[in-house]
A and B are shown apart, each in its own frame.
Chain A
Amino acid sequence: MKEELEKNPQSTISSSQVFFIHVCCALALAAGFWVAHHVYSLNLVFDPTKTLCLIWAIEFPVVILLFSCCRQKPEKCSYFTAIARGLLGLPVGALLNALGALALGAPVGLQYLEKTVNWSLLMSSFTFVPTACVYGSSWTDWHRIFACTKPNGPLEFMLCLPAHGAVIGAWFGAWPMPLDWERPWQDWPICVSYGAMAGYVVGMVGSFGLALKMHAGRKQLKAE
């Protein structure tokens, strides 16, 4: 499968590839939950730190391996360089996500440190790592995708939509936190993680839909 992806390394990728990558990411997410629940009998609500740790540990290798196949300018940049970029992107993205969360009101304090770190690593593998693998440190591309939100082509939508989905989902996920229902899932970062994952999945579905649409459009163009 890896070879197959490497055969057409240009920036446009087919909708089946988009589908494949997204399904793999979603499956990795599900696998993370499954392993946590059945192997370690952990639960996001009762032990958020370990569960989040397990989920991102399963999610991010999959993300790095898959997205490194779609790296730009493959002639200049080997597969392993892309993986290294992804590995480097993980802590940087985590730092940015953590800072954002702290600015928005994530609790400060030593007892929350582990949770915040694990959450931001997960967020980083949703948002930052894929783009780091594909574009590396190309400022113009980052700028186009994240600052201007003007992605073009299915690949960029594949990077842009799930990342934005995860951030917006996390933002909405924070709203139940102050309510006085006194449910254990209202604690930081449980509902925020749920929101982020939901947003991520919605973003992936949207990105796949757009890829299909663009593909159909291109076919139509060719036919004409």
Chain B
Amino acid sequence: MWGWWRFGKWTVLIMFLHIIAILIFTKGFLLTRTELPHSSHCSDLSQSPCHSSPSSSSCWTKPAVDRLIIIVLDALRFDFVAPSSFFEEKQPWMDKLKVLQRMASENPSSAKIFKAIADPPTTSLQRLKGLTTGALPTFIDVGNSFGAPAIVEDNFINQLIQNGKRVVMMGDDTWTQLFPNHFNKSYPYPSFNVKDLNTVDNGCIEHLLPSLYQQDWDVLIAHFLGVDHAGHIHGVDSTPMIEKLEQYNAVLEKVIKELQNQSGPGKLHENSLLLVMGDHGQTLNGDHGGGSPEEVETSIFAMSFKDLPSLPSEFDSSSCEPSKNICISSIPQLDFAVTVSSLLGVPFPFGSIGRVNPELYALAVCTWNLDDDKTWNNQDQTKLEEWLQNYANVLCINSWQVKRYIDVYSASSVIGFSSEDLFRISDLYSKADENWSYTKNLSSYKNGSSNTSLPVLKRQIVAYSNFLSYVAELARSKWTEFNLKMMGTGIGIMLLSLYCHTLAIKKLNKSYGVSLLSSRDSGISFGLMLTFFMVLIRAGSLLSNSYILKEGKAANFLLATTGIMTLRYSFMKNKMLIEVSAAIFLLLTFIFRIAIEVGLYKQAATSQFMSSSSSWMLGISISQSLWTYMAEIMPILALIVLGYFLYKSISSCCWGIPKYVIMGTILCYFLVALHWISESNILDLAHFLKGFGKNCIPRTVYAITLVQLSLLAIVPMFCKEETSNCRGSLFVKMMSILSACSSTIIILQGKQGALVALGSLLAGYCMMRLQGIEQHTVSGTAGISILDPLPVLQWSLLAVCLLFASGHWCAFDGLRYGAAFVGFDEFILIPQAILLTIDTFGFSHILSVFGLPLFVAFPSSFNQTEHKSLFPIKLFWIFMVYGLITAITAAATILCVTIQRRHLMVWGLFAPKFVFDVVGLILTDLLIFVASIYYFNGLEDRIGNAELRRLW
């Protein structure tokens, strides 16, 4: 062990540095928020200092509207709605929704256009979440359920259901994903096909107008997607976009007309409110996701169908266009959930931190206790006072609810608010509250003293507003802003770790007795240069979102380039055998490329960022025949045969445990094949296997793997085998651990797993041959083999290709959640997280790192003359170089993420890529640590500690 420490301390140091750097960087970059499972209830209000509403039927606030129609137009830019006179230049896409502008200018007191400011990330899913919960969804909401995006936090849809309101939904099926069981009726339409501009919209239109006459709902949600899709495909300045807007104008005109017809006393929509709103904006290219003004500025148009008084100017934030008689106010989207809840009279969502917006609140009829004779002009002052009294009470409830959320959040979240902030919040709240008790008392015996009570009420409202806006500001800084200092520190530590890494490699070189740069053969320094060049290109390519999207193809391109280089090199050396293996290697890269393209194609079907590329794969429709089953089962049979040969060769020469391990693996492969056969139902095996239960086979495989691993880990500690040939024993060790791991990975990966395993095995073999002969030819003159980083680079590129070829990609929808349920039916967090990790990183990290000794362990190696003591150094050198290449890539990702933190796709692409790379890096470090202990244990006995000590 002491000998291991001589080398191993570097791995530990580097791992430590990586973990620290990543933790610090992540804290500044990935803003996290804990989702709380609590929800608000009607009865909670008794704890608050506020008036509860007098009538027994209402809950927190007095319901102000009976029915609510929410029409969501996805990616509605602010300038689609606002009149063009508000902007410097009139663009072709402006003034298309004329009906909204006309309504707002004809009835300024009952219809209003708002500029709604969304909070980034401005992707539809996060925005819908933000709109309904009234919170600030971050990139990672801790507590996010596994796979399904259903909202677990309290939200206003949930409140509607709990309070007996009936909700009808039509349009974008994201709603039904977010709220799987909430709607009385829903007409969802698939939203992922970006090229389809009409399906969702036509479905909406078909159901929207008839629904307006029906009585079986209280809240109607219609979500149109056409503008979003038109933006993604054609951009904002395009004919399809303008056609879409004109279509919407016609639809809205009809809707408003119907509603107006039905708005007479006693009619269906006497007391309805219409909201036409966007969930986020879009840039001129149709992108959204980031925080630029174009993306966050969207619009809300609100309209009720009665004449209403207007608010005093203190609460009117609107800027007006005198020529057209249109005023536009501004509202943060954060306020939407709580305002709508207060209008409908349901409890405010528990996690909402918004404020009830006075202007939107004032648009609802019942907030003004209007008499039917509409004589409010005469008694303006008292009406206003009454309204303010009511509004102050609503704000009181609102503030109390926000304060309660902040208290509960900071008590239960690991990363809460700082104590200073909490103190300031309590201070503001208690101040406002102090006033409230005075105001309340004043209002209870006010009669007639309106001159005094009006300013008091206004002061009170201002006090609450101050408190609420302070909380919102604080939450924004906590949940939507980056901490650049921490990010910088993280990057600094990461660079330091890279420096340490190179230092360690230099030291290894020195003790190996060779300096890479003073090598005589130009081919070697060429290999080093090529490696540098490739790593740099790969690192640089991460700066662009397109390359992250097609990372698999780019890695494959580089891999094929190195393959061509080796082919050329082998021609140079005139070795027939390697030419063949280089050619096979190139062929394999071609096959991997096809696999990656299939993966990309799958990704295009599900990912929102890939506009589906027309592919030749479409032509091949896989018919469910015996042949396809054969094609699926063949690779595993090939693996079984290979395992058998391995067993034969090992049992003839070596010590005991590997024999049993490989036997176990062969058994596992048989079980895997049986599992797949039983799943595919070709033979009537399923019936036969029912007795065991379908989870039995995977669990047996996991158990066998565990036993194999523990055998491999524990037994060498007790009995020392005596073999003189350390290459041979290393090879046996490597094969046994690879075979032990492979069975679990293959069963998790599904049917493609065996194929990928076979491919990577073949690729590894080719690389070994290529590397072996290169060594031979070079060392023929020098006497010692020279350290060439090119094969290690190839190996790491191959690992990247394997990740993509096995159907993964660097996004959360790229995780194969199905793998977590192989062998398990119900959800148990820890084992399934482990299974998912093994599935995701199985080929690309676990097998790759354990397979690294391939380059030194080839048993029929060409130079046995090499000094034995150099052997572990070389092994270590390979581990270190592999680690360095991974670390450089991860560092590049971190840098690129920092540079692109204001990029449109930062949450869609860069952040998931960052998470993947960072997890991969730490996993690689850990695996290198484990693998070096595993391989080193035993080596040092053979070589002798004394010799090792001499070397260092």
Contacts and interface: CB of A to CB of B under 8 A. Distances in A.
Interface string B5-24: 00000000000000000000
A143 to B, nearest CB: 7
Contact of A103 (B550, B571, B586, B616): B586
B185 interface: no
Nearest to B596: A105
B553 interface: yes
Contact of A179 (B546, B574, B615): B546
B544 A103 contact: no
Given A174-B557, A178-B547, 10 more contacts: A100-B564, A102-B590, A103-B560, A103-B563, A103-B586, A103-B593, A105-B560, A108-B594, A179-B544, A179-B546
A105 B553 contact: yes
B561 A171 contact: yes
Contact of A148 (B572, B589, B594): B572
Contacts of A178: 546-547, 549-550, 553-554
Interface in A127-148: 143, 146-148
Contacts of A105: 553, 556-557, 560, 593
A141 to B, nearest CB: 13
B590 A143 contact: no
Given A100-B564, A103-B560, A108-B616, A180 B546 contact: yes
Contacts of B587: 103
Pick the 8 closest A-B CB pairs, nearest first. A109-B616, A147-B571, A147-B572, A178-B550, A180-B546, A179-B546, A103-B560, A104-B560
B545 interface: yes
Nearest to B564: A100
A108 B593 CA distance: 10
Contacts of B572: 143, 147-148
17 contacts: A102-B590, A103-B564, A103-B586, A103-B590, A104-B557, A104-B561, A108-B594, A143-B571, A146-B571, A147-B571, A174-B557, A178-B546, A178-B550, A178-B553, A178-B554, A179-B546, A180-B549
Contacts of B424: none
Interface residues of A, number: 19
Given A105-B556, A105-B560, A147-B568, A180 B616 contact: no
Contacts of B563: 103
Contacts of A39: none
Interface in A165-189: 171, 174, 178-180
Interface of A: 100, 102-105, 107-111, 143, 146-148, 171, 174, 178-180
A188 to B, nearest CB: 12
A80 B234 CA distance: 56
Contacts of A147: 568, 571-572
Contacts of B593: 103, 105
Interface in B549-580: 549-550, 553-554, 556-557, 560-561, 563-564, 568, 571-572, 574
A108 B594 CA distance: 9
A12 B715 CA distance: 70
A146 B569 CA distance: 10
A146 B572 CA distance: 9
Candidate in B572, B587, B589 with the most chain A CB atoms within 10 angstroms = B572
A102 B557 CA distance: 10
A7 to B, nearest CB: 35
A178 B572 CA distance: 33
A29 B780 CA distance: 47
Nearest to A176: B546
Nearest to B586: A103
B565 to A, nearest CB: 11
Nearest to B905: A180
Contacts of A146: 568, 571
A178 B557 CA distance: 12
Contacts of B586: 103
Contact of B616 (A110, A148, A179): A110
Interface string B583-599: 00011011001100000
Contacts of A180: 545-546, 549
Nearest to B287: A180
A103 B590 CA distance: 5
Nearest to B553: A105
A174 B560 CA distance: 13
Interface string B506-538: 000000000000000000000000000000000
A131 to B, nearest CB: 14
Nearest to A100: B564
A119 B564 CA distance: 19
Candidate in A143, A146, A180 with the most chain B CB atoms within 10 angstroms = A180
Contacts of A111: 616
B589 A103 contact: yes
Interface in B200-239: none
A54 to B, nearest CB: 27
A110 B615 CA distance: 11
A105 B553 CA distance: 7
Nearest to A111: B616
A180 B554 CA distance: 14
A178 B545 CA distance: 10
B853 to A, nearest CB: 28
Contacts of B549: 178, 180
Nearest to A143: B571
B234 to A, nearest CB: 11
A123 to B, nearest CB: 14
Candidate in B549, B556, B563, B616 with the most chain A CB atoms within 10 angstroms = B616
B705 to A, nearest CB: 35
A148 B587 CA distance: 23
A171 B615 CA distance: 23
Contacts of A103: 560, 563-564, 586-587, 589-590, 593
Candidate in A103, A109, A111 with the most chain B CB atoms within 10 angstroms = A103
A178 B555 CA distance: 12
A171 B561 CA distance: 9
Nearest to B572: A147
A111 B615 CA distance: 10
Contacts of B547: 178-179
A60 to B, nearest CB: 24
A102 B586 CA distance: 10
Contacts of B615: 109
Nearest to A101: B560
Nearest to A186: B546
A180 B590 CA distance: 24
A38 to B, nearest CB: 33
A174 B561 CA distance: 12
A22 to B, nearest CB: 25
Nearest to B615: A109
Contacts of B556: 105
Contacts of B554: 178
